[in-house]
Amino acid sequence: MTEFHWIGHGGKVKDSQVTGASNFSEDTSNHKITVPAGKRWRLLYGVIYRDQNADLTIALKDSGDKMLNILTYAAAGTGWLNIWQATNYRANAPIILKAGDYVLVTFGAAQGAGGIINMRFLEYDV
């Protein structure tokens, strides 16, 4: 019988959960989740709830606001959307973000009190 061992350092689970567009970091259409100094994040999964009909873009940007990638784009709609649902990435593909990088969630129209952004990261000290 072989034993399985994780390779590399542990890390801790970090949740970013926001309910209600008035709590979004930028405005009722935009929310930014930034990796803090001295950390690295691996994006694990997440869900978005659109309570107003709108398209949705989830972009990955560096500390200089340069586009690293567009993780998800979804046409106008409402309801729940898994962040991997409208992407070419697979859920197990490693997406590593360094300090200052950020995830920008942009709705095509302002969301209301029912708008939700939940994401989970694995956070590492560097």
Enter the tokens of residue 14.
């970090």
Please, which residues have CB within 8 angstroms of residue 10's CB and are 6 or more apart in sequence? none
Q: How many residues does the chain have?
A: 126
Distance CA 107, CA 50 (A): 8
Q: What is the pTM assigned to this prediction?
A: 0.85
C-alpha 125/C-alpha 38 separation (Å) is: 6
Contact 94, 88 (CB under 8 A): no
pLDDT in tens, the chain (126 residues): 444 334 456 678 888 999 999 999 998 999 999 999 999 999 888 999 999 999 999 999 999 999 998 888 889 999 999 887 766 555 556 789 999 999 999 999 999 999 999 999 999 998
- Sign of torsion over alpha carbons 124, 40, 49, 21: positive
All domains in the chain, ordered by first residue: 30-125 (2.60.120)
